Amino acid sequence: MKATIWHNPRCSKSREALAILHEAGAEVTVVEYLKTPPSRDELARLYARAGMTPREGLRTAEDAAKTLKDASDDAILDAMAADPILIERPLVETEKGVVLGRPPEKVREIL
């Protein structure tokens, strides 16, 4: 099975999700999204496939997220594309779907 994880190696939840993928024997493509951010269109595709709104994928703990309190989904996607720290992690995609790995065990749903 192939999987892609949008990963932050400094995040314990992201590391745990990556470990679950490796334990499952997945062939994993790791994208360090802070170094190689997904495009706005890619984020929109991932969230649509996950059945989530961009707001649900927003890392609300970041100061910059506070300015997006009343923003539209389009504005949130624009902000995430401009400042990828606003993307909640990890996002994981397999042929079975996309999940936000919070908690990391959610990754098992698409294995």
| pTM confidence score | 0.94
Pairing assessment for the beta strands 97-100 and 2-7 based on DSSP bridges: unpaired
Determine phi and psi for 30, rounding to 5 degrees: -100, 120
pLDDT score at 6? 98
Q: Kindly list the structural domains of the chain, giving each domain's residue range(s) and its CATH number in brackets, ordered by start.
A: 2-110 (3.40.30.10)
pLDDT, one tens digit per residue, over 15-67 is 999 999 999 999 999 999 999 999 999 999 999 999 999 999 999 999 999 99
Residue 46's nearest CA partner among 98, 85, 101, 109 is 98
H or E segment to which residue 29 belongs: strand 27-32
pLDDT score at 108? 97
Positions marked catalytic:
11
Determine how many CB atoms are found less than 10 A away from the CB of residue 63.
Answer: 7
Whole-number Cα distances in Å, 80 to 50, 57, 86: 17, 9, 5
Mean pLDDT over 78-92 rounds to 97
Buried-exposed string 86-106: b where 16+ CB fall within 10 A, e elsewhere = bbbbbbbbbeeebbbbeebee
